[in-house]
């Protein structure tokens, strides 16, 4: 199976010849050799000793640990345990470090120090079995490991797949941004909810009512909030152009500051700093539901013409959207996380679903950086789809190499 | 003094470098955003690189990444309290100017002052904010149990009502998509609870049929949740994760700097 | 015991004040809402101070400064965050903010590709070799994941084929949203059940002497 | 019937609100006792904990607040009871800032009082609340004492006997997170995918649909979906450990199983509303078409 996958990998795709993956495979096959069953085992005394005892540096860690592996011998009494002992230079006195149950086969000694040379031994101990002198507490012959040292490693081989994915992904995104910045045209398809933005603001202008923009309740360390602030910039430019009043109530203090800066910048860039008031972007409170209650009450009192609910929302989504609905406002919602989307879909006029939120900021701003990244994400999706299709074809022929190598640890 | 590499490197990157940056920023306003963005690149890439590089100076127990985790726990605590200043500013302004609804601002500040000082009292006396050594509640926990918990849970429970009115109004079979939404919602609502058994309760001959239909609906619901719902959720998760990862790269590299209140350029 | 009864009454009255919002916005609700906002901020002070700042910042430095001297820096960065309230030196807070935001976004990045994209895609790869009901379910599952992903392609105009697939994607999304909505009714009602349980069993019943 | 249709289409929401209130309150006063059926994801969770050995460590994280307590409390309590019955040791943490700690303290106090033999510090430890959940989880692979230098009451971790064998998250056999919002997800995408710790989640019903994707991908061992999941768990628990059944039979205490009556009634009412709404909608549309023709 493994060899099949290897040869196939060499044929199918040059990508698989990446040295990292090759080294991963090598490690896998070496370890497979290392634990291959021995041909003969010596005749067991009363208690059979453990088998295939190997001590080596645990790969892919920050040092100070030794990985021990072994096989339990057959025919042990049920209560028998395996005792692991260690000897250190220069004295080489054996001391117990752990006694483990049967069936584990593996122990990591994380009390080891780097560069020190150790030897380990493992023996079977059984309290119930009498030893040669007839006293309970028999101990098997010890099995000794080769000398071993722990070391500090540079790479976690088991994460090669995710490393390759990350590097590839970062490369694609930065490459696409560069491509867009070089002035070449990038197409972004129409997103239904977005054309409604100007329509909604236009309507607010006509009837002389406010536009509410609620940027979710998460902080600026959440990516959806950052996307929302980008869209807020666009909305604020439109309200500045039309001279419509804008109200941005905030739950998170950091989001609040960024939102205020974004709105201020938008009014400046439209040449209407006179229309900008500091309290357009205001801070309500930090608690999710106190915030929700205050904003819903404000919606009912002020009856805005348009409400934007874009960002990361939790349970408050439905209260806000349902209250907004009852005031008769046009509502445009957007969230990348799927949890609250059903409520937005059910109560809002337009909803940006999932990744549309990120694409929307690109579509609205037409900024090369955003357009480029949107394209980069599409390329990544294309690669994933292709990988998926190839994976399904291979899996249908009984080869799960791709699916196996998508597992992360 | 513990002068392990991890600590010293962090102090240089996120302590000394900012001090130099602030000093330079006093003179040259153009550096006021450039240096923070430069420093941010390190803060962002350390956890990413540490995912793949286990080398002790980076990911070991005393390495940079692990130590940075502890730092950022502290910074997150400070960030959590950031909003209080805004609330106090807003409310005291409201009270000072006797704006409409100012008595509510008094209520707010009182709640903040009382609960907050109970919290400070707990920290200063070392009683904490849970139970006293004799098992009784601390004043902080008393306020929490009697005021905070009922208020929060009741406001949340308003959702049940909104849920009902939203489903009444929004679930109309306007078009194909809306009809799918409606049917899926209806099936799941019937499959999650013994609804048919409840309806059949007054009519004994229907009990057995209702029970087996209910079983079937339960299995169907599980299938819907597992397969079509699971597939759609996977699709959304993959797409959104790519979007989020690309945004993360842009933020870390300083291409996206809206979070600092900066537009494109400077 | 007296204190317990007073507490129950306070909790019950506040519960009723919140529920009164359903009829219409009113002073009782606004009182409860403002009180809640205040108490919740005070709650943050208590919990942050007692559970993070004392044990993770103050105590380590007080007990063993030599080992924990470097914690001075996050402490200072924390203070710097508040510089934003000084109009002239607001820019200083950018240092703390940049570190705070990029670090957490970096951690988020490690969750995305490593924890979401790869495992989720791996799960979507299923064999289609046998013709039985399991294969059919696998096919539906993979069609779902694929069509939703295709719906999320933005940088190309949808062709006649991709348009159809994207439409299937919308249908999958709608099934999922409908199911999620149906699923959620339970959760939301659970909260109300919890509150009414409190009002009826712990407030009204004892008041009426019903056990 | 145009009058009725118009009235249905413009029905004041407050009538619906009243209906909801009455139909939830009635089963609390007159319990029905409807049957509960169990689902696969709950059974998987139950069986995993059932197979743990005495002395194993389970990490129970209270990642929710009072806002979702009626859903999450019964789950956390049921899991704690199961662990203590099986002599499995329990670590408690809180990452939900608003009110999670109070609930955790109360729940731990309540459940440990039911098991008089338990000793704090040997059988269970409450680590308390910590800010910056993502940073804490990132660090848990290195050690627990870094982010949690003390327990909830300020006692240094090093002085707690139970913590001696528990250096980092890898010595923990299972994480159960009773979660609202996003924190439960981090346990999966960060702790499970980087340190391999098995995760069982007890989400609120609203987040449960998303977790099916993680369940499918094997990133989650099991799930207790909302109050229904909790009720299923209570049923499994009372079945396997009859000595625990008494905690679910008291009249005053709130259990998820009792909550299921109200759930059933309200589902019926909401479905009836949806049917009525659609009936009115189609009648109105037909009338409009006739009017236009």
Please report, for chain A, how many H helices and E strands are present, in that order. Answer: 12, 15
Mean pLDDT computed over every residue of chain A: 82
| Mean pLDDT computed over D1-11 | 68
Q: Does A351 or A8 have the greater pLDDT score?
A: A351
A94-100 and A117-130: which strand pairing?
A: unpaired
Would you say A351 and A344 are in contact if contact means Cβ atoms under 8 Å apart? yes
Residue A10, pLDDT score = 44
Residue B141 has its nearest CB partner, among D68, D102, D210, at D102
Q: Does A319 or C145 have the greater pLDDT score?
A: C145
pLDDT digits (tens, 9 = 90+) for A98-138: 888 888 888 888 888 888 889 898 888 888 777 777 777 78
| Mean pLDDT computed over B198-213 | 86
Predicted confidence (pLDDT) at residue D10 exceeds the cutoff of 60:
yes
What share of chain D in percent tops pLDDT 90? Answer: 53
pLDDT digits (tens, 9 = 90+) for C109-143: 999 999 999 999 998 898 888 788 888 999 999 99
pLDDT digits (tens, 9 = 90+) for A371-384: 899 999 999 999 99
Would you say B129 and B122 are in contact if contact means Cβ atoms under 8 Å apart? yes
Residue D293, pLDDT score = 60
Q: Does D121 touch chain C (CB under 8 A)?
A: no
Residue D178, pLDDT score = 95
Residue D253, pLDDT score = 65
Q: At A40, is the pLDDT very low, low, confident or very high (cuts 50, 70, 90)?
A: very low
Neighbours of chain A (3+ CB pairs under 8 A): B, C, D
Residue C154 has its nearest CB partner, among A287, A290, A359, at A359
pTM of the model: 0.87
Pairwise CA distance, residues C92 & B23, whole Å: 10
Q: In terms of C-beta density within 10 A (0-12 exposed, 13-18 middle, 19 or more buried), how is residue D121 classed?
A: middle
From residue A103, give the alpha-carbon distance in Å to each of A70, A79, A391, B112.
10, 12, 34, 57
Provide the greatest CA pair distance for chain D. 85
Question: Given an 8 Å threshold on Cβ–Cβ distance, is C14 in contact with B113?
Answer: no
A117-130 and A148-149: which strand pairing?
A: antiparallel
| Mean pLDDT computed over A25-44 | 42
From residue C142, give the alpha-carbon distance in Å to each of A388, B231, B235, C154, D41.
9, 7, 10, 21, 21
Q: At A14, is the pLDDT very low, low, confident or very high (cuts 50, 70, 90)?
A: very low
Cβ contacts from B onto D, under 8 A: 188
Residue A239: strand, helix, or coil: helix
Pairwise CA distance, residues C194 & D6, whole Å: 35
pLDDT digits (tens, 9 = 90+) for A298-322: 898 899 999 999 999 988 888 899 8
Q: Output phi, psi for D151, to 5 deg.
A: -80, -170
Residue C121 has its nearest CB partner, among A221, A285, A406, at A406
User: What residue segments make up the domains of chain A, in order of their start?
Assistant: 35-154, 186-366
Residue C154 has its nearest CB partner, among A159, A353, A374, at A374
Pairwise CA distance, residues A92 & A97, whole Å: 14
Domain boundary at B82, B100, B119, which?
A: B82
Which residues from B are below 8 Å from C30, CB to CB?
A: 101, 104
Residue B205, pLDDT score = 86
Neighbours of chain D (3+ CB pairs under 8 A): A, B, C
Would you say A131 and A38 are in contact if contact means Cβ atoms under 8 Å apart? no
User: What residue segments make up the domains of chain C, in order of their start?
Assistant: 1-63, 73-125, 131-211
What share of chain C in percent tops pLDDT 70? Answer: 98
Nearest partner of A323 among C22, D56, B67, B15, judged by Cα: C22
Q: At D67, is the pLDDT very low, low, confident or very high (cuts 50, 70, 90)?
A: confident
Closest chain B C-alpha to A354 CA, distance in angstroms: 6
Domain boundary at B30, B64, B82, which?
A: B82
Residue A409: strand, helix, or coil: coil
Predicted confidence (pLDDT) at residue A97 exceeds the cutoff of 90:
no
Residue A153, pLDDT score = 86
Question: Given an 8 Å threshold on Cβ–Cβ distance, is D130 in contact with B73?
Answer: yes
Instruction: Tell me which long-range contacts A133-139 makes (C-beta under 8 A, separation of at least 24).
Output: A138/A46, A138/A47, A139/A47, A139/A83
Nearest partner of A331 among A342, A316, A346, judged by Cα: A346
Q: What domain range includes position B216?
A: 191-252
Cβ contacts from C onto D, under 8 A: 154
Instruction: Tell me which long-range contacts A34-43 makes (C-beta under 8 A, separation of at least 24).
Output: A34/A69, A35/A69, A35/A71, A37/A71, A41/A73
Closest chain C C-alpha to A349 CA, distance in angstroms: 15
Which residues from A are below 8 Å from C30, CB to CB?
A: 297
Q: Does D17 touch chain C (CB under 8 A)?
A: yes
Instruction: Please list, in sequence order, all residues whose beta carbon lies within 8 angstroms of the beta carbon of residue A18, skipping any fewer than 6 positions away.
Output: A164
Q: Does A289 touch chain D (CB under 8 A)?
A: yes
Residue C211, pLDDT score = 65
Looking at domain D40-254, its CATH class is alpha beta
Residue A322 has its nearest CB partner, among B54, B166, B264, at B166
pLDDT digits (tens, 9 = 90+) for C1-57: 456 788 889 889 999 998 888 888 789 988 998 898 899 889 999 999 999 999 999
Closest chain C C-alpha to D54 CA, distance in angstroms: 30
Average the pLDDT over each of A366-375, B14-23, D85-94, D244-253 and give the range with the smallest value: D244-253
Rg (CA), chain D: 23
Residue D220: strand, helix, or coil: coil
Q: At B72, is the pLDDT very low, low, confident or very high (cuts 50, 70, 90)?
A: very high
pLDDT digits (tens, 9 = 90+) for B3-30: 888 899 999 999 999 999 999 999 988 8
Number of domains within chain B: 2
Q: Does A32 or A384 have the greater pLDDT score?
A: A384
Joined together, the tokens standing for residue D183 give 């924190």
Q: At A258, is the pLDDT very low, low, confident or very high (cuts 50, 70, 90)?
A: confident
Residue C76, pLDDT score = 95
DSSP 8-state symbol, D192: I
Which residues from A are below 8 Å from B79, CB to CB?
A: 219, 253-254
| Mean pLDDT computed over D75-103 | 93
Mean pLDDT computed over every residue of chain B: 88
Superfamily of domain A35-154: Immunoglobulins (2.60.40.10)
Which residues from A are below 8 Å from B59, CB to CB?
A: 62
Predicted confidence (pLDDT) at residue C178 exceeds the cutoff of 70:
yes
Residue D213, pLDDT score = 93
From residue C103, give the alpha-carbon distance in Å to each of B6, B76, C98, C109, C125.
16, 11, 8, 10, 33
| Mean pLDDT computed over A266-271 | 92
Looking at domain A186-366, its CATH class is alpha beta
Predicted confidence (pLDDT) at residue A149 exceeds the cutoff of 70:
yes
DSSP 8-state symbol, A16: G
Beta strands in A219-316 (DSSP E): 246-250, 281-283, 306-310
| Mean pLDDT computed over D110-115 | 92
Distance from the first to the final alpha carbon of chain A: 22
Does residue B180 lie within any of the structural domains? no
């Amino acid at each position: 199976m493994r060899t099949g996958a290897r040869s196939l990998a060499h044929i199918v795709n040059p990508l698989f010849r990446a040295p990292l993956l090759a080294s991963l495979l090598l490690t896998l096959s070496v370890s497979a050799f290392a634990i291959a069953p021995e041909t003969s085992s010596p005749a067991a005394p009363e208690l059979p000793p453990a088998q295939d005892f190997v001590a080596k540096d645990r790969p892919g860690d920050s040092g100070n640990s030794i990985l021990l592996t072994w096989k339990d011998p057959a025919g042990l009494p049920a209560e028998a345990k395996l005792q692991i002992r260690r000897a250190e230079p220069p004295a080489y006195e054996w001391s117990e470090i752990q006694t483990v149950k049967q069936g584990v086969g593996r122990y990591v000694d994380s009390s080891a120090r780097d560069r020190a040379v150790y030897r380990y031994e493992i023996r079977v101990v059984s309290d119930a079995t009498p030893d040669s002198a007839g006293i309970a507490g028999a101990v098997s012959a010890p099995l000794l490991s080769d000398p071993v040292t722990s070391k500090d490693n540079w790479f976690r081989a088991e994460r090669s797949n995710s490393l390759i994915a990350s590097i590839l992904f970062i490369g694609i995104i930065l490459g696409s941004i560069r491509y867009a910045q070089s002035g070449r045209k990038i197409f972004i398809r129409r997103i239904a909810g977005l054309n409604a933005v100007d329509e909604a603001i236009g309507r607010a202008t006509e009837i002389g009512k406010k536009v509410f923009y609620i940027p979710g309740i998460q902080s600026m360390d959440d990516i959806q909030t950052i996307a929302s602030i980008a869209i807020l910039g666009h909305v604020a430019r439109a309200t500045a152009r039309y001279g419509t009043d804008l109200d941005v109530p905030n739950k998170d203090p950091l989001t609040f500051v960024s939102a205020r800066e974004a709105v201020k910048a938008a009014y400046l860039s439209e040449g209407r700093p006179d229309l900008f008031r500091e309290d357009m972007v205001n801070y309500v409170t930090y608690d999710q539901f106190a915030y929700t209650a205050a904003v819903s009450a404000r919606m009912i009192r002020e009856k805005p013409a348009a409400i934007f609910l874009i960002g990361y929302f939790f349970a408050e989504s439905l209260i806000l959207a349902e209250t907004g609905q009852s005031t008769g406002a046009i509502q445009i919602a957007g969230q990348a996380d799927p949890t609250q989307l059903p409520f937005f879909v059910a109560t809002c006029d337009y909803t940006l679903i999932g990744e549309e939120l990120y694409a929307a900021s690109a579509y609205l701003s037409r900024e090369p950086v955003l357009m480029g990244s949107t394209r980069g994400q599409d390329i990544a999706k294309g690669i994933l789809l292709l990988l998926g299709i190839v994976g399904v074809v291979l899996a249908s022929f009984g080869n799960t190499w791709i699916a196996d190598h998508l597992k992360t640890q | 003094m513990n002068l392990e590499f991890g600590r010293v490197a962090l102090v240089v990157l996120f302590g000394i470098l900012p001090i130099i940056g602030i000093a330079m920023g006093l003179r040259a306003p153009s550096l006021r955003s450039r240096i923070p963005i430069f420093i941010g690149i390190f803060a962002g890439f350390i956890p990413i690189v540490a995912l793949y590089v286990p080398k002790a100076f980076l990911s070991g127990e005393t390495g940079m990444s692990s130590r940075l985790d502890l730092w950022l726990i502290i910074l997150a605590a400070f960030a959590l309290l950031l909003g209080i200043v805004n609330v106090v500013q807003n409310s005291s302004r409201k009270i000072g100017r006797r704006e409409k609804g100012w008595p509510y601002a008094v209520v707010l500040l009182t709640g903040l002052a009382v609960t907050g000082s109970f919290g400070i009292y707990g920290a200063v006396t070392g009683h904490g904010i849970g139970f006293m050594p004799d098992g009784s509640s601390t004043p902080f926990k008393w306020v929490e149990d009697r005021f905070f918990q009922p208020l929060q849970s009741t406001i949340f429970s308003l959702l049940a009502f909104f849920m009902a009115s939203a489903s009444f109004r929004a679930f109309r079979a306007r078009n194909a998509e809306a009809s799918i939404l409606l049917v899926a919602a209806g099936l799941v609502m019937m499959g999650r609870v013994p609804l048919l058994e409840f309806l059949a309760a007054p009519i004994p001959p229907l009990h057995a049929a209702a029970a087996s239909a209910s079983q079937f609906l339960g299995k169907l619901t599980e299938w819907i949740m597992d397969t079509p719902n699971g597939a759609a959720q996977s699709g959304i998760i993959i797409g959104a994760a790519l979007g989020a990862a690309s945004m993360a790269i842009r933020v870390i590299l300083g291409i996206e700097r809206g979070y600092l209140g900066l537009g494109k350029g400077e | 015991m007296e204190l317990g009864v007073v507490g129950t009454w306070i909790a019950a009255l506040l519960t009723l004040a919140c529920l009164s919002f359903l009829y219409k916005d009113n002073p009782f609700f606004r009182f409860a809402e403002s009180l809640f906002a205040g108490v919740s901020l005070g709650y943050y002070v208590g919990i942050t101070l007692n559970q993070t700042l004392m044990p993770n910042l103050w105590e380590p430095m007080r007990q063993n400064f030599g080992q924990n001297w470097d914690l001075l820096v996050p402490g200072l960065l924390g203070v710097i965050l508040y510089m934003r309230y000084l109009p002239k030196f607001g820019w200083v807070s950018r240092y703390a903010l940049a570190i705070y935001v990029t670090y957490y976004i970096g951690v988020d990045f490690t969750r995305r590709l490593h924890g979401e994209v790869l495992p989720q895609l791996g799960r979507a790869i299923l064999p289609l070799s046998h013709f039985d009901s399991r294969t059919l379910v696998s096919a539906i599952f993979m069609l779902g994941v694929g069509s939703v992903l295709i719906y999320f392609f933005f940088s190309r105009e949808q062709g006649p084929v991709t348009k159809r697939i994207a439409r299937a994607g919308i249908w999958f999304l709608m099934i999922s949203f409908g199911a999620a909505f149906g699923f959620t009714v339970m959760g939301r009602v659970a909260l109300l059940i919890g509150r009414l349980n409190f009002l009826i069993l712990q407030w009204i019943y004892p008041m009426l002497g019903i056990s | 019937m145009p009058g009725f249709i118009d009235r249905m289409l413009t029905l004041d929401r407050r009538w619906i609100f009243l209906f909801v209130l009455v139909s939830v309150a009635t089963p609390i006063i007159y319990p029905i006792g409807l049957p509960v059926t169990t689902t696969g994801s709950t059974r998987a969770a139950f069986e995993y904990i059932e197979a743990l050995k005495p002395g194993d460590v389970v990490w129970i994280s209270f990642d929710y607040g009072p806002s979702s307590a009626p859903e999450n409390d019964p789950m956390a309590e049921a899991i704690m009871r199961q662990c203590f019955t099986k002599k499995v040791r329990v670590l408690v943490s809180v990452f939900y800032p608003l009110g999670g700690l109070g609930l955790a303290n109360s729940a731990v106090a309540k459940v440990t009082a039911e098991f008089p033999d338990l000793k704090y510090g040997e059988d269970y430890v409450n680590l308390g609340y910590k800010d910056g959940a993502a940073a804490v989880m990132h660090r848990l692979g290195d050690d627990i004492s870094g982010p949690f230098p003390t327990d909830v009451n300020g006692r240094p971790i090093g002085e707690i006997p139970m913590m001696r064998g528990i250096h980092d998250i890898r010595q923990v056999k299972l994480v159960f997170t009773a979660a609202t919002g996003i924190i439960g997800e981090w346990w999966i995408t960060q702790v499970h995918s980087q340190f391999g710790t098995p995760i069982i989640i007890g989400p609120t019903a609203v987040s449960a649909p998303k977790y099916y994707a993680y369940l499918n991908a094997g990133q989650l061992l099991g799930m207790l979906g909302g109050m229904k999941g909790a009720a299923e768990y209570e049923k499994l628990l009372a079945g396997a450990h009859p000595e625990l059944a008494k905690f679910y039979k008291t009249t005053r205490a709130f259990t998820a199983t009792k909550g299921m009556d109200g759930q059933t009634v309200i589902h019926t009412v909401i479905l009836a509303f949806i049917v009525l709404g659609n009936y009115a909608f189609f009648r109105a549309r037909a009338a409009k078409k006739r009017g236009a023709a």
